[in-house]
Amino acid sequence: MRNRFSLWFVPLLLVSACSPAPAADTFRVATYNVENYLDQPTESRPQPKSAAAKARVREGIRALNPDVLALEEMGGLSALMELRSSLKTEGLDLPYWELVSGEDTNIHVAVLSKLPIVARRPHTNEVFLLDGCRFRVSRGFAELDIRAAPDFTFTLIAAHLKSRRAVPEANEAEQRLAEAKILRDIVDRDLAAHPNTRLIVLGDFNDVRNSDSTREIIGRGRFKLVDTRPAERNGDNPPAENSWSEPRNITWTHYYGKEDTYSRVDYILLSSRLARAWIRNDTYVLTMPNWGIASDHRPIVATFKVGNN
């Protein structure tokens, strides 16, 4: 199937050095905000990604060895093709791809995949109202059906919600929540139509788990999504302090320089059907020296078993 670049106005259609290749009956899905992976300057982002930063991004991706990779803050088509070509030269071939745009024409949501993409439903022109003003979802959502085996297909929705940077047009948290509600509507429609869908919702949600926007995406009730909560594989194995709390593993994925804080804002969420195929002990945050040369985010990955799930 031909790949396509979807624009809102022109619908076209290291804890360890390197993870071993997954077994034939498993596959890995990762997400990585690659921080302004631009190959040319734009009006609002004047600095292209440096060669050193690009090389470090590729090193992290190769260490994860994903079968499917969602990317946030990817530049245009030429930047995505450069990354794809460079990874192939270095031994990681991801022949299938998707690139979508929302209102922000500088950075995009993208997907690279070893596994065939069998259907595409890009969401590039979703709108919402705040205080009487009309807004479009900043980066759009990529929605793909991907075949992991002849009898095992799953749906992937990749997102990059509004950042926490203040903007004059509206409150940034309210914008992010509005985008999260649109994303959750897409999830609910998919699961209402096909309750047994194997679904992954992932990407940079730009807020912590207890925020209104992240809780909106996770949902509640019958179609509540499962948070995989990737953590560092550094030997920590603490029990939860209380029955309602999570273990004190290291799960942060983002450094926010303005506040000098580290937090978990990148997620891999699963429908209950796909959660039955999830391999917990091969789900983690990648740690590697000098990770910050590549991006202000660290990538995360989850592994799944192909079978009668």
- Provide the 3-class DSSP secondary structure of residue 19: coil
Q: DSSP strand E in 168-214: where?
A: 199-204
The token duo for 283 is 């789900």
Ranking 10-14, 61-65, 191-195, 296-300 by mean pLDDT, the lowest is 10-14
Q: How many CA atoms lie within 13 A of 247 on its CB side?
A: 13
CATH (domain of 51): 3.60.10.10
User: 106 lies in a domain?
Assistant: yes
The DSSP letter of residue 223 is G
C-alpha span between 298 and 289 (Å, rounded): 11
Residue 133 CA: distances (Å) to CA of 124, 175, 179, 303: 19, 11, 14, 42
The DSSP letter of residue 295 is -
User: 253 lies in a domain?
Assistant: yes
Q: For position 275, what pLDDT does the model report?
A: 98
Other beta carbons within 10 angstroms of residue 193's beta carbon come to 8
- pLDDT above 90 (res 44): no
pLDDT digits (tens, 9 = 90+) for 78-90: 999 999 999 999 9
Q: Mean pLDDT: which of 96-105, 195-204, 231-240 is highest?
A: 195-204
Q: Which residues contact 189 (CB under 8 A, 6 or more apart)?
A: none
- pLDDT above 80 (res 7): no
What average pLDDT does this structure show over 284-308?
96
Q: Which residues contact 245 (CB under 8 A, 6 or more apart)?
A: none
Number of domains making up the chain: 1
Closest of 31, 58, 71, 49 to residue 288, by C-alpha: 58
C-alpha span between 305 and 88 (Å, rounded): 25
Domain containing 113: what range?
Answer: 5-10+20-305
C-alpha span between 9 and 269 (Å, rounded): 30
C-alpha span between 226 and 187 (Å, rounded): 13
C-alpha span between 117 and 31 (Å, rounded): 17
- pLDDT above 60 (res 18): no
The token duo for 309 is 């799930």
The token duo for 294 is 């590549």
pLDDT digits (tens, 9 = 90+) for 71-115: 999 999 999 999 999 999 999 999 999 999 888 989 999 999 999
C-alpha span between 125 and 102 (Å, rounded): 6
- Provide the 3-class DSSP secondary structure of residue 37: strand
CB 111 within 8 A of CB 158: yes
User: 71 lies in a domain?
Assistant: yes
